Structure 1
């Protein structure tokens, strides 16, 4: 697979990976090995970043779109993410509330669908 795909599956920011990783091709077996026994560079990236937007969004409890609305367009390190959590800017509070409402609605709709399906069966 392409390095970008492998980086996404590993939850790391591709430009922060070693050149050999960026320039190569990653087989399924190599990906499995990286996941099972991550080398130091991968452990470091996963722990400290910089993290890609999906990881940043998950760590902050917001959507990727919420990050963009908050002006976060670049990868962040774990330290920067923790700083945002401590400062809790207004946009982050708002986006967390929005994300929580979206999750609640998703669960409600899922339960409603399940009820309808069990009523018809």
Structure 2
């Protein structure tokens, strides 16, 4: 696989990886070995960053779209993320509230669908025979 894909699967920023990692394709066995026993450079990147957008969003408890709305386009380090969490700016408070609302709605829909499935009701209405008489 491409180094970019491997970096994404490892949860690290490709530009922060060593040159030798970026220079050649990564086999599935090599990826598995990196996941099972991360070398020091990988452990340091995961611990300190800079982190890719998806990791930053997860650590802040917001969506990738929330980062974009806030104008966060650059990778952040763990220290920068920690500083944001310790003294959250208004955008972070708003985005975390928005994300909490989205999660609550997803839970509500999942519960509703589970209830319908338990009743055998697919939620599309019932009884009608379509175009026939």
Task: Name the TM-score, length of structure 1 as normaliser.
Answer: 0.97
Q: 1 CA distance for matches of 2:103 and 2:95?
A: 12
Which stretches of structure 1, 4 residues or more, deviate above 3 A after TM superposition? none
Q: How do residues 62-77 of structure 1 correspond to structure 2 at under 5 angstroms? A: 62-77=62-77
Please give the root-mean-square deviation of Cα atoms over the aligned residues, in Å: 0.9
Instruction: Give distance in 1, aligned partners of 2:104 and 2:3.
Output: 35
User: Deviation of residue 86 (structure 1)?
Assistant: 1.4
Match of 2:25 in 1: 25
Gapped regions of structure 2 (runs ≥ 5) = 122-133
Q: How far does the alpha carbon of each residue in 1:85-111 deviate from its partner, in whole angstroms, 9 at most, with x for none?
A: 112000000000000000010111111
Q: Which runs of 5+ in 1 are unaligned?
A: none
| Distance in 2 separating the partners of 1:86 and 1:62 | 15
Give the equivalent residue in structure 2 for 1:116. 116
- Residue 4 of structure 1 is matched in structure 2 by 4
Q: Tell me the residue number matched to 1:42.
A: 42
Question: Which one has a bigger Cα radius of gyration?
Answer: 2
Partner Cα separation in structure 2 for residue 14 and residue 94 of structure 1: 30
Measure how far apart 1:118 and its partner are.
1.2
